Amino acid sequence: MPELPKAPRTWRGIDALFQPRGVAIVGASPDPGSPGHQILRFATQTHFAGAVYPVHPSASEVAGFRAYPSVLEIPGPVDLVVLAVPARVCVEVARQIARRHDERGDAAAVVVVSGGFAETETPEGRLLQEALLEPLRPRGIRVVGPNCMGVLDTRTGVTTTFDLGTYPGGGLALVTQSGAFAISFLQWARPLGMVGLSKLVSVGNMADVDMTELVRYLGADPHTRVIGVYLEGLRDARGFVLAAAEVACAKPVVVYKAGRTELGARAASSHTGSLAGQDEIYEGAFRQAGILRARSMSEFYDLVRVLEKLPLPRGNRVCVCSAIGGPGTICVDEVAASGVLQLARFSDPVREVLRGILAPTATIGRPDGYLDMTGSIRARTHGEVLRVVLEAPEVDAALLLTTPPAFLDEEEVAEAILEAYWAQPEPRKPVLPVLTFGDAVARARRRLEAGGLPTFEFPDAAVRALAQVVRYVHDRMRKR
């Protein structure tokens, strides 16, 4: 098949994904057990200010909303069309969208949730994908998918997913080749309020809109502070790395690259039709570009939420303030093994002030940068010690470990930590609280997260996340 004409690449179609005047959902079904029904329900339950139009061939109403037999019959402006119908029907609707675009000048973007295209790795699937694009691409109508969940924007309230309606707003943008990966993270983080989302894009087969373009777009998005990417494979890996390298000079780009092994690469191919490529090449390219690579799902989770909430440290000198002995030792071990972090060396005046706060049983600066507060801890002590540490010019970041003990009010401890953190002058130093009692201290963790501090259950995970952030700072300074 001859190559299709290239689309005019402008932000207009991408903007239409996140701030449409109206959204048509083709495949919105009266059946509550169908994806199309759920997409409609979520789309109409947010604060989205535009109109949402169900499209159904025979129903006059779906879920209480007037339905239209085709996108051509919708009276109001429709900038975004969602397709949740069989692949062959998607091809027919694409021609209607093109006709509407010609006649009305709207219909700038399409999200194709449906599967059955190139990801099937069959000639028929590939032909269907080309047929889908044929009337859209020459007109500059942008397509996300097929085989995806589409988009969610917490600021405008637009959503095309069937697994996530509303979500707390924030500075993280997620671009993913797996909707399940992104939704799993967001649902995991939701109970404690661990992260705030700016935008989500599930790209699926990337028949048109791809990760490279989205990373550039999000790099210029004032509502996005950090970009998290779940990646299986790319057609133009070099283009992606160049774009991410450019963006990483201004804001962090964190990538979890799956398909590292031969078997994993085969699984990626059957998932989205992507070619995973040689992992060693990606590794070297990411390092050169200043892209942060997460080695596990948990590391990805921790890294993006630290970068979403905290300021960047100005250096690598760390203070470990611990009210719990064993985890404090583990934390110091991880700092020493990180290869990038150093324990801060307390000055004599700082040691003197700390001695005045802590009980004689506490140890200060043995080793340098380590405070064992065990035996002298009160709720207010957390805040008093943290203030001194953050004011010390020899400290760039703090790790604060506590349970807190059952005889203290956990929310009072959280308030003391937050008061000390926010009392800093700008630019603030990052603080990573580690609370090791699991669900028993959920109220404290929830309060800290709401107050702007990312919490951890395990000290080694907190150190690894901080070490990655410091590497990013070093890389960014080197590139400048």
User: For position 269, what pLDDT does the model report?
Assistant: 64
Residue showing tokens 């080197």: 478
Quick one: which H or E segment has residue 43? helix 35-43
Q: Are 268 and 274 in contact (CB under 8 A)?
A: yes
User: For position 407, what pLDDT does the model report?
Assistant: 83
Closest to 219 (Cα-Cα) out of 254, 251, 172, 256: 251
Q: Are 444 and 435 in contact (CB under 8 A)?
A: yes
Integer Cα distance of 14 and 217 in angstroms = 8
User: For position 377, what pLDDT does the model report?
Assistant: 80
Integer Cα distance of 135 and 427 in angstroms = 51
Residue showing tokens 């959920």: 442
3-class secondary structure, 429: coil
User: For position 27, what pLDDT does the model report?
Assistant: 97
Q: Which two tokens stand for residue 220?
A: 């210029």
**Residue 295 DSSP symbol:** S
Integer Cα distance of 59 and 68 in angstroms = 8
For 177-272, strand residue ranges (E) read 197-202, 226-231, 253-257
Q: Are 365 and 346 in contact (CB under 8 A)?
A: yes
User: For position 233, what pLDDT does the model report?
Assistant: 87
Strand partners of residue 257: 231
User: For position 474, what pLDDT does the model report?
Assistant: 93
**Residue 119 DSSP symbol:** G
Which alpha helices (DSSP H) does 53-86 contain, by range? none
Integer Cα distance of 371 and 320 in angstroms = 6
Strand partners of residue 253: 227
pLDDT 10s digit of each residue in the chain, 480 long? 344 444 445 677 899 999 999 999 999 999 999 999 999 999 999 999 999 999 999 999 999 999 999 999 999 999 999 999 999 999 999 999 999 999 999 999 999 999 999 999 999 999 999 999 999 999 999 999 999 999 999 999 999 999 998 999 999 999 999 999 999 999 999 999 999 999 999 999 999 999 999 999 999 999 999 999 999 988 889 999 999 999 999 999 999 999 777 777 667 666 666 655 678 888 889 999 999 999 999 999 999 999 999 999 999 999 999 999 899 999 999 999 999 999 999 999 999 999 999 988 899 999 999 999 887 688 899 999 999 999 999 999 999 999 887 788 999 999 999 999 999 999 999 999 999 988 889 999 999 999 999 999 999 999 999 999 999 999 998 877
User: For position 277, what pLDDT does the model report?
Assistant: 64
Residue showing tokens 């004011």: 391
User: For position 438, what pLDDT does the model report?
Assistant: 86
Integer Cα distance of 66 and 323 in angstroms = 60
Integer Cα distance of 151 and 62 in angstroms = 22
Compute the half-sphere exposure of residue 114: CA atoms within 13 Å on the CB side of its CA: 25
DSSP assignments along 383-402, one per residue = HHHHHHHHH-TT-SEEEEEE
User: For position 2, what pLDDT does the model report?
Assistant: 41
User: For position 273, what pLDDT does the model report?
Assistant: 60
